[in-house]
Chains A and B, each alone.
Chain A
Amino acid sequence: MPESVIVLENLAKSFGHTHAVDGVTMTIPAGEIFGFLGANGAGKTTTMRMLCGLTKPTAGHGSVLGHDIWKERNAIRPKFGYVAQKFSLYPDLTVLENLRFFGSAYQVSGQRLNDRIETLLDQLDLRAKSKELAGSLSGGMKQMLALSCALVHEPALLFLDEPTSGLDPVHRQQIWDLLYDLSSQGTTIFVTTHYMDEAERCTEVGFLHRGRLLAKESPLRLKQRFKGQLLEMQIEPPMEGLVRLRNVPGILGVALRSGRVRIYSAESERLVAEWQKAWPFEGLTWLGHSWAVPDMEDVFKAYSQGYSEILETTAS
């Protein structure tokens, strides 16, 4: 297996005048859990579809497992598993029939297929439901089945497009446990997500904004990108405080966290000093303030809103 499973060079995809993916360059080493972040419409799904050979890139190059993502897409297909954003199995087939079909579609047959199905039924908690129609499963179970169908041929690489969206915390945990197991066995995982707690669990995170890759680092390094800490104001009433502080010059954005107003600004210290001299907001009571360590939620907000003033510029 090559050192880098995915190599992208200026990969781009345009639909007419819209640049869905605008020159993405990155490498993803083997065995990594790569979290792909970005707002809706940032180009995450389009990038993944290009990597899977479902869409032809309009510019740039990409290779997956050493093969060109478009010209050699037929050679890549047997080697990866793909779980699409929405449930994409056959609801009128049973759990077992779905597994058997995808197994045979991936040329897994005979005893090997039986063994694989047995393993997956246990591993993903599907044994009790094996004879039920896929359409009758709960959302979490459907996602478990989708994962097992993508894993039936033991792929070296797994693409997951928002695999946990809409799932309860128990199933999300179950899926992440499974991803860790797979990763420890050497499977490379490429996952898009909207959940920042999930982004924390990835070995590396790529941040896509309007088709451009703004950062690609470990969650820890990404959080360290903030210049200093974030101001948190305890204001009464908090909602009104949120709305009024949002429009103060020098404040890039605000967010409500545990009843406190978190402020994104390069001039936080100056503002606090000014407010201590004279509190300009009539009707709002300033109860206190503190300084918070940025988390992935802040990273997401800062990158997706373009708060470049409070972020260090990309070093690498």
Chain B
Amino acid sequence: MNFAATLRSTASVAKKEFLHILRDWRVLVLILSLPPAFTLLLGHAFENTASTDTPVVLRDSDQSEQSRALIDKLKADKTFAWREIAPETPGTINLLKAGVMMKVVIPPKWGESLHNGDPQPLQLTLDGIDTTTAPQLSGEVQQVLGQFQLDSRQAMIDNLPDEVFEMGKKIPEATRKEFVSAMSPWTVQSKILYNPNLKFIDFVMPGIVGLILQLLTVTLTACTIARERESGTLAQLLVSPLSRNQIVAGKVFPHLIVSILLIAATLATGHFHFHVEYRSPMLTGLLCLLFLLCSLGTGLLISAFCQTQTQAIQFAVFYLFPVFPLSGAFASLDQLPPGIRMLSQAFPLTHFCHAFRMVSMGQLGVSFVAGDLVFLAIGAVVTCFGAALLLRRIQD
């Protein structure tokens, strides 16, 4: 068969596949509306990582000038939504029943203790069910308290009687400088590259794009061959002169076109709504294309392997599930132990997210993401040809 005939045959399958997509208007509406809608939803959900308005309760058993001043500073912090209870309230508080994440108790005579050489700690009680929030809250209180200490130290220095300064002049200059240095807060000066405003949305954008597209492409194509097998049309295709490769290519092409439109819509939503900037359009485009081919191929592979659409959807879900937490779409891979981090390298989405961030945020060239591109290209070829091979195998 010559090349033109091969192309014509592939095109006939592709045209038929387009008609299937167009005729199933429920799914069409779903695939057209979901990506932008999910991008908006997830984008806003992950816009800001810091907790805000976490309900906490406070009991001031000291009622001193210092405790009042500290409470004013704590209340200025947007992390917390305070609820103050009267110091004479008896008994302990059940955090869950009270609907709060943390209890802060300023012990009696706390203000006095700050000046008598034996500063008392604030009493925090934290809800540890959610493992990330508790340390975040205690750290936040610690930070406010540290600032409070610095302020009161500055006030103390400002109010020192002149005799102290006179006395100080008698101390040798070197010792005096050392004392001043020790008393000054030591700081870091940080310069943040690649994402200078630390916009979390910029970090999660490739994750959102990849996750939505992978979900749609895998589930859509997972059904295509399985549906034909279920309805008997696959046998009808297999007895025709169409080759297995033509069938697979004809099935990939229309879904590729649709998913390119979807990825464009998703990226546009990110850009125009969340002001995410993309750089190196050529390289990013190539990356998206390879990722889509890889996902479509995975769907087809599942499809060629399964006997029914129900099986195909179940396989797709079980394939897609571990990708959510392990691909680094929403959190850094560094949090994972080394063994599992190696497993996560088996997911196309992991490479897509990594390469997308390198190229678009890090503005690095092709050489830095060559590994990811090669992985995705191999994945695309292996899955598509694997699907064609499985089609051949089922005849036996």
Contact = CB atoms under 8 A, between A and B. Distances in A.
Interface footprint category on B: 20 to 34
Interface in B209-230: none
Contacts of B8: 104, 107, 109
B12 A101 contact: yes
B293 to A, nearest CB: 24
Given A53-B395, A54-B235, A102 B19 contact: no
Interface in A51-106: 52-56, 74, 77-78, 80, 82, 84-93, 97, 101-102, 104-106
Interface stretch (B94-102, B238-246, B274-282, B299-307): B238-246
Contact of A93 (B9, B23, B232): B23
A74 B153 CA distance: 90
B241 A88 contact: no
Contacts, number: 77
B236 interface: yes
B241 A78 contact: yes
Nearest to B238: A54
Contact of A89 (B24, B233, B241): B233
A29 B178 CA distance: 112
A54 B237 CA distance: 10
A102 B240 contact: yes
A102 B233 CA distance: 11
Nearest to B233: A88
Contact of B9 (A87, A88, A105, A149): A105
B233 A77 contact: no
A109 B5 CA distance: 10
B15 interface: yes
A143 to B, nearest CB: 13
Do most interface residues of chain B lie in helix, strand or loop, or is the interface mixed? Answer: helix
Size bin of chain A's contact surface: 20 to 34
Given A54-B238, A74-B241, A106-B241, A97 B19 contact: yes
A253 B123 CA distance: 95
A53 B395 CA distance: 8
Contacts of B231: 87-88, 90-91
B9 to A, nearest CB: 7
Given A86-B232, A92-B19, A53 B239 contact: yes
A22 B72 CA distance: 92
Contact of A52 (B16, B23, B239, B242): B239
A97 B240 CA distance: 17
A82 B16 contact: no
A106 B395 contact: no
B241 A92 contact: no
B78 interface: no
Given A88-B235, A89-B233, A105 B23 contact: no
Interface string B106-143: 00000000000000000000000000000000000000
Interface in B230-280: 231-233, 235-243
Interface string A231-274: 00000000000000000000000000000000000000000000
25 contacts: A53-B239, A54-B238, A56-B396, A74-B241, A84-B232, A84-B235, A86-B232, A88-B231, A90-B20, A90-B233, A92-B19, A92-B23, A92-B24, A93-B16, A93-B19, A97-B16, A101-B12, A101-B15, A104-B12, A105-B9, A105-B12, A106-B240, A107-B5, A109-B8, A149-B236
Interface of A: 49, 52-56, 74, 77-78, 80, 82, 84-93, 97, 101-102, 104-107, 109, 133, 149
Given A84-B232, A105-B241, A105-B242, 16 more contacts: A53-B395, A54-B235, A54-B239, A77-B241, A86-B232, A88-B235, A90-B233, A92-B19, A92-B20, A93-B16, A102-B240, A104-B12, A105-B237, A107-B8, A109-B8, A133-B23
